[in-house]
Amino acid sequence: MNRPLKAALIVGALAVGFLACAGIAPYYTTIAVWELRELVPLLAFVAVAVIFSAGLGAVGFARSEGSGGGLALLGLVVGIVVGGLWLLHTNYDQDRTYSEATTVTADPLPQFGPRAPYQVGQAQARPNLGDTGGDIADTTYVPGEDRYATLVNRRGWLSGYEVAFTQQIPLQGRGATDQKCAFDRSRADARSGGNFTHNLGRLISKEQRWVRFDGADIYAYCDGDRPVVVVPLKRQVGLMVLTERPAGVALYDGKTGDLTITTDISEIPGPSYPLSLARQQREATRGIGSFADWVFKRAGWETPDDDTNSGNDAEYTLDAGGQPMYATPLTGRGSATAISVVTTVPARHSGLGLAPMRAHKLTPVWVSPGAIVDRIKADYQDIPNWQTIQVYEVIPTGPNAWVATLGTGQNILYRATGTGDLKGDKPTCLLRADGSTYRCGTLAGVNGNGVGTQYGGSDPGTPVPAPSGDMRSMSDAEFAALQRRVAEEAACRLDKATCQRR
Q: Contact, 440 vs 447, CB < 8 A?
A: no
State the amino acid at position 349 in one-letter form.
H
Which is higher by pLDDT, 132 or 36?
A: 36
- pTM comes to 0.81
Closest CA to 166 of 179, 154, 152: 179
Between CA 319 and CA 347 the distance in angstroms is 10
Q: For residues 19 and 25, what is the distance between their CA atoms, to the nearest angstrom?
A: 10
- Measured CA to CA, the distance from residue 108 to residue 320 in angstroms comes to 13
Average pLDDT of the chain?
Answer: 83
Residue 202 C-alpha from the chain's centroid = 27
Residues 367-393 pLDDT 10s: 999 999 999 998 998 888 888 888 888
Q: What is the pLDDT of residues 261-274, one digit of tens each?
A: 999 888 888 899 99
191-241 pLDDT tens trace: 998 988 899 999 999 999 899 999 999 999 998 899 999 999 999 999 889
pLDDT on residue 50:
78
* CA–CA distance, 77 with 69 (Å, rounded to integer): 13
Q: What H or E segment, with its residue span, contains residue 51?
A: helix 26-63
**Better pLDDT: 227 or 49:** 227
What integer is the mean pLDDT of 351-355?
Answer: 92
Find out whether 42 and 244 touch, Cβ atoms under 8 Å: no
Give whole-number Cα distances, 393 to 295, 379, 412, 432, 495, in Å: 32, 18, 12, 17, 45
Strands 161-168 and 176-182: antiparallel
Range among 56-70, 75-89, 396-410, 438-452 with highest mean pLDDT value: 396-410
Q: What's the pLDDT score for residue 502?
A: 46
Average pLDDT over residues 457-480: 59
End-to-end CA separation in angstroms for the chain? 109
pLDDT tens digits, residue range 154-186?
A: 998 889 999 998 888 877 766 666 788 999 989
In the chain, count H helices and then E strands: 9, 20
Residue 88's CB: how many other CB atoms inside 10 A? 14
pLDDT of 359 above 80: yes
- Give residue 270's pLDDT: 87
In this prediction, residue 16 carries a pLDDT of: 45
Q: What is the pLDDT of residue 496?
A: 53
Residue pair 183/160 in contact by the 8 Å Cβ criterion: yes
Question: Mean pLDDT across the stretch 456-477?
Answer: 57
> Looking at residue 246, what is its pLDDT?
96
Query: For 133-164, b where at least 16 C-beta lie within 10 A, e where not — what string?
Result: ebeebbbbbbbbbbbbbbbbbbeeeebbbbbb
Answer whether residue 70 shows pLDDT above 90: no
Residue 410 has pLDDT above 50, yes or no: yes
pLDDT reading at 498 higher than 50: no
pLDDT average, residue stretch 394-408: 91
Measured from the Cβ of residue 412, the count of other Cβ atoms closer than 10 Å reads 23
Instruction: Assign 457 a pLDDT band (cuts: 50, 70, 90).
Output: very low
Residue 74 or residue 413, greater confidence: 413
Q: Which of 247, 416, 399, 233 is nearest to 327 (CA)?
A: 399
- Radius of gyration, alpha carbons of the chain: 31
- The residue ranking higher by pLDDT, 113 or 466, is 113
Q: What is the pLDDT of residues 6-24, one digit of tens each?
A: 555 555 545 545 544 545 5
Query: Which ranges of 100-173 would DSSP assign to H, the alpha helix?
Result: 118-125
| pLDDT of 341 strictly over 80 | yes
Backbone angles phi, psi at 297, to 5 degrees: 55, 50
Burial class (CB in 10 A: 0-12, 13-18, 19+), 466: exposed
Banded model confidence at residue 449, pLDDT cuts 50, 70, 90 = low
Tens-digit pLDDT profile for residues 272-324: 999 999 999 999 999 999 999 999 999 999 998 877 776 678 899 999 988 89
Strand partners, 140: 149
Q: What is the DSSP string of 250-308?
A: EEEETTT--EEEES--TT--S--S-HHHHHHHHHGGGGSS-HHHHHTT-SSEE--SSST
Q: Bigger pLDDT: 283 or 124?
A: 283
